[in-house]
Structure 1
Amino acid sequence: MFKSLSIYLALSLFSIVSFAQISSDTTLRVAKANFREAKRQARLSKQTSRKNMQSAPAPKEMQWFGKAGARAIMPENTLEGMFRALDLGVEVLEMDVVISKDKQVLLAPEPFMQSASVRTPSGTDIPFKDERKHNIYAMEYAKVKQYDVGSKKVSAFPGQEKYKAHAPLLIEVLEQAELYAKQKGLAKPEFCIEFRMIPQGDEVFHPAPAEFVDLVMGIVKAKSLEKRVILQAFDMRVLQTIKQRYPMVRTALMVDGKEEVQDYIDRLGFIPDIYSPYFVLIGKSLVDKCHEMGMKVVPWTVNAIDKVHYFRSLGVDGIVTDYPNLRNQLLSDEPH
Structure 2
Amino acid sequence: MLCCTLFFPFRRRLGSPYCRRMTNMAKRGKKKGGLFRGLKRLLGFLLVLALVWVVLGFVPRDRNYVPENPMLRQELPILIAHGGGNREFPDNTLEAFYNAYSVDPRAMLETDVCITKDGVVILSHDTTLDRKTNVTGAIAEWNYTDLMAQQVDFGYTNPVKDGQLNGKRVRFTTDGGKTRTPLEVTYPAGVKPRHRSKFLCTTLEQLLVSFPENRINVEIKQTGEVGQKALEEVLRLLKTYDAFDRVVLASFHDEVYDRYVALQTAGQVPDRFMYSPSVGPMIRYVAMAALNADFLFKDGLCVFQLPTEKMGIPLDTQWLVQSAHKHNIAVHYWTVNDVSEMQHLIDIGADGIMTDYPHLLKQVLDAQEKPADTGDFQLAAPREE
Residue 227 of structure 1 aligns to a residue whose secondary structure is: coil
Counterpart for residue 103 of structure 2: 88
CA contact (8 A) 2:84 2:109 kept: yes
Pair 1:173–1:59, CA change in 2 (3 A)? closer
Gaps of 5+ in 2: 1-72, 157-169, 182-197, 310-314, 372-385
CA contact (8 A) 1:190 1:228 kept: yes
Counterpart for residue 383 of structure 2: none
Say which one has the larger Rg.
1
Counterpart for residue 43 of structure 1: none
Counterpart for residue 273 of structure 1: 302
User: What are the Cα deviations for residues 82-125 of structure 1, in whole angstroms up to 9, with x where unaligned?
Assistant: 1111111152111111000011111001111242x3222xxxxx
**Partner Cα separation in structure 1 for residue 201 and residue 176 of structure 2:** 21
Pair 1:256–1:159, CA change in 2 (3 A)? farther
State the shift of 1:240 in Å: 4.3
Q: Which protein, 1 or 2, shows the higher relative CO under an 8 Å CA cutoff with sep ≥ 6? A: 2
Q: TM-score, normalised by structure 1?
A: 0.66
Pair 1:259–1:332, CA change in 2 (3 A)? closer
Counterpart for residue 45 of structure 2: none
State the shift of 1:234 in Å: 1.4
1:253 aligns with 2:282: no
State the shift of 1:289 in Å: 2.7
1:61 aligns with 2:76: yes
Pair 1:99–1:307, CA change in 2 (3 A)? same
Counterpart for residue 143 of structure 2: 140
**Identity rate, percent:** 23
Pair 1:264–1:212, CA change in 2 (3 A)? farther
Residue 96 of structure 2 aligns to a residue whose secondary structure is: helix
**Partner Cα separation in structure 1 for residue 279 and residue 201 of structure 2:** 26
Letter in 2 for 1:81: A
Gaps of 5+ in 1: 1-57, 121-125, 127-133, 179-187
Counterpart for residue 26 of structure 1: none
Q: Which one has the bigger helix percentage?
A: 1
> What is the aligned counterpart of 2:224 among 202, 221, 228?
202
In the TM superposition, what are the counterparts of 1:291-330 in structure 2 within 5 Å?
291-330=325-364
> What is the aligned counterpart of 1:332 among 343, 356, 367?
367
CA contact (8 A) 1:256 1:278 kept: no
Letter in 2 for 1:261: Y
Pair 1:173–1:258, CA change in 2 (3 A)? closer
- The aligned length equals 250
Letter in 1 for 2:345: F
| Greater shift in the superposed pair: 308-317 or 281-290 | 281-290
In the TM superposition, what are the counterparts of 1:1-336 in structure 2 within 5 Å?
60-89=75-104, 90-115=106-131, 117-120=132-135, 134-145=137-148, 146=150, 147-151=152-156, 152-154=170-172, 157-158=175-176, 161-163=179-181, 164-178=198-212, 188-197=213-222, 201-203=223-225, 207-209=226-228, 211-243=229-261, 244=264, 245-246=268-269, 247-255=271-279, 259-262=283-286, 270-280=299-309, 281-330=315-364, 331-332=366-367, 334-336=369-371
User: What are the Cα deviations for residues 151-175 of structure 1, in whole angstroms up to 9, with x where unaligned?
Assistant: 5434785566423212211111221
Letter in 2 for 1:334: E
Q: TM-score, normalised by structure 2?
A: 0.58
**Partner Cα separation in structure 1 for residue 174 and residue 98 of structure 2:** 21
